[in-house]
Amino acid sequence: MSDRSRWFVPTEWLAGRLDDPDIVVIDGSWHLPGQGRDARAEYDKAHIPGAIFFDIDAVADTGNPLPHMLPTPEAFAAAAGALGIDERQRIVVYDSVGLSSAPRVWWTFRTMGATDVVLLDGGLPEWLAEGRPVTGAPASRKPRVFRPRFDATAVFDLVGVRDGVADGAIQLVDARPRPRFLGEAPEPRSWVKAGRIPGSLSVPSSDVIADGTMATPEAIAAAFAKGGVDLSRPVVTSCGSGVNAAILTLALEMIGVEKSGLYDGSWTEWGGRDDTPVAVGDDNGD
């Protein structure tokens, strides 16, 4: 277990540093298809003063049909630099839900080589609840040079997941709500089958969140234990499209599991193919 300040900063801390040129504030909001929310439009209406909007669907491998897949390090560096961000700054990420898509942005910057990336505790809801200022004014920063140092060990693809689960080298932990994991609820993307990757374990991301922020280390450990996860063995996180999986990656790091991987394509890739097995029903169905 480690000091929470390694991963989160309080709203009071950020409020006093909005003009610090060495601190970059990022609105990393994103919403599932079908939720009827437009993260960019919401940002344009009200965001933390000076915050840059980071669109995970635009800073992505746009040539890949899967949603918000990681771009190449070179493409990411160009996009981050154009936004006025470099790898040496302190990067503070928040989202409009509290703790939802911001961990995906945290994970992305970390994977690309940024070393000082934290999340705003409570996100935009906490900021608003405290009556802190927001603006609709466009934010911009002078371009910088982002020098990427890509951590390939943080990212798993379909082959790595398939082989790792088959030979027991990894535990694949699914962050989706349990009805979707069991195949009892439809996926947000109509072309993706219902169900899960055979052999995967269920730890819904909501089980490690409390009041819009990360739960206590004890509650996090209990959630993984309930899901049957052995924290002494390698873990790879997954979800619908690699967003909520990052919540579990963050949670694991906060309880001392610092080298977990994330399946970038997640269930949208696996469940959208005709050549991958699917499990449904209770855990005994695997």
**237: its two tokens:** 């996180």
Residue 108 sits at φ, ψ, to 5 deg, of -60, -50
- CA dihedral over 111, 247, 241, 48, signed as positive or negative: negative
Q: Which two tokens stand for residue 209?
A: 């969140």
Q: Is 208 helix (H, G, I), strand (E, B) or coil?
A: helix
Do the beta carbons of residue 98 and residue 134 sit within 8 Å?
no
* Catalytic (active site) residue 119: no
What angle (nearest 5°) sits at the alpha carbon of residue 169, between those of residues 167 and 172?
100
List the catalytic residue out of 114, 239, 246, 251.
239
Q: Find the largest Cα–Cα distance for the chain.
A: 55
| Residue pair 249/158 in contact by the 8 Å Cβ criterion | no
DSSP string, 23-84: EEEEE-----TTS---HHHHHHHSB-TTPEE--TTTSS-TTSSSTT----HHHHHHHHHHTT
Q: Is 152 helix (H, G, I), strand (E, B) or coil?
A: helix
Nearest Cα residue to 83 out of 47, 117, 115, 58: 58
Q: Rounded distance, CA 286 to CA 264, Å?
A: 23
Residue 99 C-beta-side C-alpha neighbours within 13 Å: 25
The owner of tokens 């802190």 is 132
Q: Which residues are identified as catalytic? A: 239
